Structure 1
Amino acid sequence: MKKPKYQLIIDFIKEKIAKGEWAIGSPIPSQRNLAKQFEVNRSTVITALEELMAEGLIEGKAGKETVVTNNTWTLMGAKSLTNWNENVTLGIHKPSVTMVQEINEAESNTNLIQLSKGELSPEMFPLEEMKFIVQKVSNQLTSFGYEEPKGNIKLRQAISDYLKVRGVEASPSSILVVSGALQALHLISIGLLKRGSTVLLEMPSYLYSLTVFESAGMELQGLAMDNEGIIIDSIYPIKEKGKNILYTIPTFHNPTGALMQEDRREKLMAYCEREQLPVIEDDVYRDLWIDNPPPKPLKAMDHYGNVLYVGSLSKTLSPGLRIGWIVGSESVINRLADLKMQSDYGSSTLSQLVAAEWLSSNFYDEHLDKVREQLRIRRKVALDAMDKFLSPYATWDIPKGGLFIWMKIKPEFKVKRLFEKALSNNILLNPGSIYAEKSGQFIRISYGYAALDEINEGIFQLSEIVKNQ
C-alpha cells in the first residue's frame, strides 16, 4: 500500500534525525522547500510537521525557524543530550565570515565562471607526467608506513636543492615537510607565538592567515602597502621585543599581486634585524612569474636566522598533493616537527614521494615553463577584457606574476551588491572586504583558473552588472 505523502515527509525528517545528520538545535528546511522537494502543497507539509511536533522531535514558534529538539534516543528515556548546535561557536578556531563560507561552497559549482579561485586551471595540470611519476613511485615502493617527523629525507633533499637555485641555503635537517602553507602558519602560530602577541602583516592579506592567527589568540596589526608591498615606514615602533612578528607575502602578494623589489627587501630585512623582529615569509607564488624572475627571497638575505620561510607546491603543481615546507633553524624545525606529529603524524607518504620525484627531475622546470606561458596568455585576455569593458568603472595595476588582478571599483558602486548580482549570474568573484575592511571597494579577479572564453565572458558580464547598478 502506497504511503500518504505527508508520511513520506515524516519518514524523511526522522531518518535525518536518527542518523545524526540533523543534530538537536539544527533548523529543518522551510515549509516552502519541503513542499517543493516532495511536490506537495504546504498544507501537506504542515500536517507532517504537526505530527513530528506532537512526537516531540521538532519545535516551531511563530516568526522563528523550526528546529530539532529531540532524537529517538532522547525519547527512549534520556533526560538530556548535548545540543551540539550551541557549541559550534565555542571552539578556539574562528568560523569564516558568511560571505567566505558562501564563496567556499560556490567554488565547487562547475556551472559557475570561477574568477575567484586561487589555483591553476585543470587545463594546466600535467596529467600524463603525473601518471608517469605516480607509476614510477609505486613501482619503487618497498614499504608504505609513516615517514620521519621532519618528512621524507629524499623530499627534503630535493627541496634543499630546489631552494639553493633560488638563493636560499637550507640543509635537509632545517626543513620540515608540511601539508601545505596553511598548516605551516598553523604550526608556527600555536608552537612559537604567545597568545596575545601582535602579528604585523600587509593589509589586505591572505584570507586564511587572518583566521589562523586570530584563532591562536594573536592580535593583528595591518601595515600600509603600495604596489611594491609593505611601506616600511608604516611599521610602528616595537615597544615590547619578543611579542611581535611580521608575516609577509613579498612576491606576488595575495590578494593585491604586489611585488617587492630588491632594494625594499634589503631595507625591510635591515629594519627587522635591527629591531629583532622575526619574519614569516610566505613565498608560495614565487615560481608563477610572468615577465621576469622576481628578486631573491627575504630568506636569502637572512644572516641571523630571523626568517621562517614557507613554500608549497599547491599553487604551481597541484593543491591535491598537500605538500609544502618550512625552513628555519634546526631547533625551531625540531619544535614544529614535534607539533606536526601531534597533529597528523606526518604528511602523506605517497604525496611526499611523488613531490620528491617532481622536484628532483626535469619535469618540474618544464612544467613551470608551460605554466608561465599559459599565465601570460590568460593575464592578457583578462587585461584586454578589463580595458575594453571595465575601464570606465574601475582601475587596476598590471601584475608581474601570480594569479590575481586587484581591481578598485569607483565608490558610487557597491561591491557587495556586485558580488551578489554576479553570483546570481553564475560568476564568482572575491570581494576585497573579505581580506580587509578597508578594501571594500576592491575585487580580486583570478585569471588562473577559468577557461579563456570564460575569463572574457565573466568580465563582460561583470561590466554589464556594474553598468546597470
Structure 2
Amino acid sequence: MWKPARDASISLQNQIINWVTEQIKSGDWGVGTKLPTQRQLALEFDVNRSTIQQALEELKADGILESRVGSGVFVANDSWNLLAKNTQPNWQKYIEASIHKPNYHTIQLINEYEQDDSIIRLGTGELSPTLLPTKKLQESLQNLSFEGKDFGYSSPQGSTKLRQALCHYLKKRGITTKTENILIVSGALQALQLMAVGLFETGSIVFQDHCSYLNSIHPFQSFGMQMKSVKRDESLKQTLKSKKKNRQSIYYSVPTLNNPTGRVWTSNEKQYFYNTCKALRIPIIEDDVYSELLFETATPSIKSLDSSGQVLYIGSVSKTLSPGLRIGWVVGPTPVIKRLADIKMQMDYGSSAISQEIVTYWLASDLYENHLIELRDHLKVRAKFVENILAEQFSSIATWESPQGGFYIWLRFNESIVTKDFFLKLLKRNVLINPGFIYDAEDSNHIRISYSYASLDNLKVGLDILYEESISMTKNSCTP
C-alpha cells in the first residue's frame, strides 16, 4: 500500500494530492468514483485527518473532486479534462507576464502579410530583390578565401578587418574613429536593443521626434523606458530641460532621410541640436542607415561634430546591400562599446563571421561604392515614377514632398481617413500600407509610401487601388 514519504522534500499534503491525481489520470479512479472516507485515508497513509482534509479541499477547489451532501466525495465529471489541461504549462500567462511588449496588431498584420507574394507591398522599408546585387554577391564569395577560424565565433566587437575597413569608410561621413570604438551588430535594431538593455535604467526617458520609427517597435518601452516626443524648435533646450528633470535620458534621431517622413536636417539644424543636447548632457543616438541613399551629397553627420563622446552612431548595410547579411555597426566611446559587446556576446556570441567577411570585401574594394551609385539611380527612377502617379491622381486629395533619397514618400491626405478600417479595406484588396498611426498614434492623415520594393507594375496597380479607396473614404467622411 502506498504511503507518503515523511523525509521527502514535498509536503505530505502535496504528495497525497499528486497520488490522488495519478489514480484519476491513470483511469484507476474513473468519473463518479467514490473516495474512501477521510478516516480510512488517514489510517492507510498514516497521517492526520487534517492533512487528508486539506488535500481533498484543494482538489475540490480545482474541480477534480466534488462533494455530494450525505454521500461523500467523488471524482468530478470533468476531472480528466481539467487534469489534461493542468499537465500543460499556461503559456498565455507566461506571455502576458513577460518583459517585452507585444507589437501593435496593425504591425503584426504587416509583418504577417509581407510574407505573402500575392500582396502588393506599398509600405515595405526594404529593397526589392531585383535591386539587390545578388550575382555580384555570389561572385564575391568565390573571391574570398577562408581559414578554419573564419567559420568560428566572432570576437566580441566583431571582425577586426571589418572594423578597420569601417574606420576608413566612415571618414566619408566626416567620422574619425578607431577599431576599439566600433561594435559590429546584427542590424541597427539590435544596436537599439543592446542599448536598451545595457545602458539605461528603468524609467529613463527616450526623446524623439513626434513621428518616429521607434513608435512602431518596442526596444526601449519593453524595458520600462518612457518615450517622449518633442519639437526641435527654438525652445528645444527649455523643453528638454523641463521634461528631463533629474532623470537619465537620451535622444533618438534620424537626421538623414528620417523614417517614415524622409526628411533631411540641414547642417544648421544638426549643429543646433548637437549643441543643445551637449549643454544638457543628453546623449544622442544618430540612426544613419539611410544616408548613403541620398540623391544629392549628404551633409556631415552629427557624429562628425562630436568631440566629447556625446553621440552613439548607428550604420548598416541592410538598406543598401542586403538585409539578409544582418550586419550593422555602432560607433561610440570605448566603455560603451565594451559594455554593448559584452551583452551581445551573452545574447548571440557575435554576428555572422561569413557575413562580416563579405561586407569587409565590399567596403575595401570599389564594389560597394559602385553599387550605391547604381542603386541611387534606380531609386530615383522609382521615386519619379510614383511621384508622377501621385501628381496625376492624388493632387486634389493629398500633399507630399518630393523625396530627397531613400525609400519613402510621406503622403498626407487632406481628410483624416487613415484609420484601421482603411488599412483593412486595402488589405482585403491585397494592398498593404504602412499607416501613419503606427509612427504617431494621433496621426490619421499620413501613410508611408515606399517605392523601393514593389515592381513598377505593382506600384501602379497598388496606387490605383489606394486612390479608389481614398476617394471612397473621403466621400464617406464628408457625408453629413
Question: Normalising TM by the smaller chain, what interval?
Answer: 0.7 to 0.9
The alpha carbon displacement at 1:233 in A equals 2.6
Provide the residue aligned with 1:357 in structure 2.
Answer: 361
Of 200, 208, 228, the residue aligned with 1:221 is: 228
Q: What is the distance in 2 between the residues matched to 1:193 and 1:423? A: 39
Give the letter aligned to residue 180 of structure 1: G
Of 100, 122, 129, the residue aligned with 2:136 is: 129
Check 1:184–1:338 CA distance in 2 against 1; reply closer, same or farther (3 A cut): same
Give the letter aligned to residue 204 of structure 1: C
TM-score between both structures, scaled by the size of structure 2: 0.78
Q: What is the distance in 2 between the residues matched to 1:365 and 1:285? A: 14
Structure 1 window deviating more from structure 2 (307-316 vs 389-398): it is: 389-398
Of 248, 254, 271, the residue aligned with 2:253 is: 248
Query: 2:216, 2:439 within 8 Å by CA — same for their partners in 1?
Result: no
Of 258, 262, 268, the residue aligned with 2:263 is: 258
1:88-145 CA-to-partner distances (Å, cap 9, x unmatched) read 12111100011110010011111111111101111111011100112222x3333311
Check 1:157–1:241 CA distance in 2 against 1; reply closer, same or farther (3 A cut): farther
Provide the residue aligned with 1:430 in structure 2.
Answer: 434
The alpha carbon displacement at 1:219 in A equals 0.4
Provide the residue aligned with 1:54 in structure 2.
Answer: none
Output the aligned Cα RMSD: 2.1
The alpha carbon displacement at 1:393 in A equals 1.1
Query: 2:278, 2:310 within 8 Å by CA — same for their partners in 1?
Result: yes
Provide the residue aligned with 1:333 in structure 2.
Answer: 337
Of 160, 163, 188, the residue aligned with 2:167 is: 160
Give the letter aligned to residue 378 of structure 1: R
Q: What is the distance in 1 between the residues matched to 2:273 and 2:189? A: 24
TM-score between both structures, scaled by the size of structure 1: 0.80
Provide the residue aligned with 2:147 in structure 1.
Answer: 141
SS in 2 for 1:220: strand
Provide the residue aligned with 1:455 in structure 2.
Answer: 459
Provide the residue aligned with 2:393 in structure 1.
Answer: 389
The alpha carbon displacement at 1:412 in A equals 5.1
Provide the residue aligned with 1:118 in structure 2.
Answer: 125
Q: What is the distance in 2 between the residues matched to 1:192 and 1:209? A: 21
The alpha carbon displacement at 1:241 in A equals 4.9
Provide the residue aligned with 2:278 in structure 1.
Answer: 273
SS in 1 for 2:219: helix
Give the letter aligned to residue 273 of structure 1: K
Q: What is the distance in 2 between the residues matched to 1:275 and 1:308? A: 16
- The higher radius of gyration belongs to 2
Task: Give the share of equivalent positions with the same residue, in percent.
Answer: 40
Query: 1:415, 1:442 within 8 Å by CA — same for their partners in 2?
Result: no
Q: What is the distance in 1 between the residues matched to 2:188 and 2:174? A: 20
Q: What is the distance in 1 between the residues matched to 2:349 and 2:81? A: 37
Query: 2:107, 2:216 within 8 Å by CA — same for their partners in 1?
Result: no
Provide the residue aligned with 1:284 in structure 2.
Answer: 289
For structure 2, the residue ranges without an aligned partner over 5 or more in a row are 1-77, 474-480
Query: 2:434, 2:447 within 8 Å by CA — same for their partners in 1?
Result: yes
Provide the residue aligned with 1:90 in structure 2.
Answer: 97
Check 1:209–1:187 CA distance in 2 against 1; reply closer, same or farther (3 A cut): farther
The alpha carbon displacement at 1:74 in A equals 5.6
Provide the residue aligned with 2:64 in structure 1.
Answer: none
Provide the residue aligned with 2:111 in structure 1.
Answer: 104
Q: Residue 374 in 1 paired to residue 381 in 2?
A: no
Query: 2:250, 2:285 within 8 Å by CA — same for their partners in 1?
Result: yes
Give the letter aligned to residue 382 of structure 1: V
The alpha carbon displacement at 1:232 in A equals 5.2
Query: 2:316, 2:327 within 8 Å by CA — same for their partners in 1?
Result: yes
Query: 1:308, 1:327 within 8 Å by CA — same for their partners in 2?
Result: yes
For structure 1, the residue ranges without an aligned partner over 5 or more in a row are 1-68, 225-229
Query: 2:167, 2:178 within 8 Å by CA — same for their partners in 1?
Result: yes
The alpha carbon displacement at 1:231 in A equals 3.2
Of 317, 323, 347, the residue aligned with 1:319 is: 323
The alpha carbon displacement at 1:321 in A equals 0.3
1:421-461 CA-to-partner distances (Å, cap 9, x unmatched) read 21111111000001111222111110111111211221122
Q: What is the distance in 2 between the residues matched to 1:351 and 1:73? A: 50
1:239-260 CA-to-partner distances (Å, cap 9, x unmatched) read 5356111110000000011100
Q: What is the distance in 1 between the residues matched to 2:131 and 2:234? A: 37
Q: What is the distance in 2 between the residues matched to 1:295 and 1:70? A: 71
Query: 2:216, 2:438 within 8 Å by CA — same for their partners in 1?
Result: no
Give the letter aligned to residue 440 of structure 2: A
Query: 1:115, 1:427 within 8 Å by CA — same for their partners in 2?
Result: yes
Provide the residue aligned with 1:233 in structure 2.
Answer: 235
Q: What is the distance in 2 between the residues matched to 1:250 and 1:454? A: 30
Q: What is the distance in 1 between the residues matched to 2:216 and 2:423? A: 23
Query: 1:247, 1:280 within 8 Å by CA — same for their partners in 2?
Result: yes
Give the letter aligned to residue 233 of structure 1: S
1:258-304 CA-to-partner distances (Å, cap 9, x unmatched) read 100001111111111111111010000010111x1221110000111
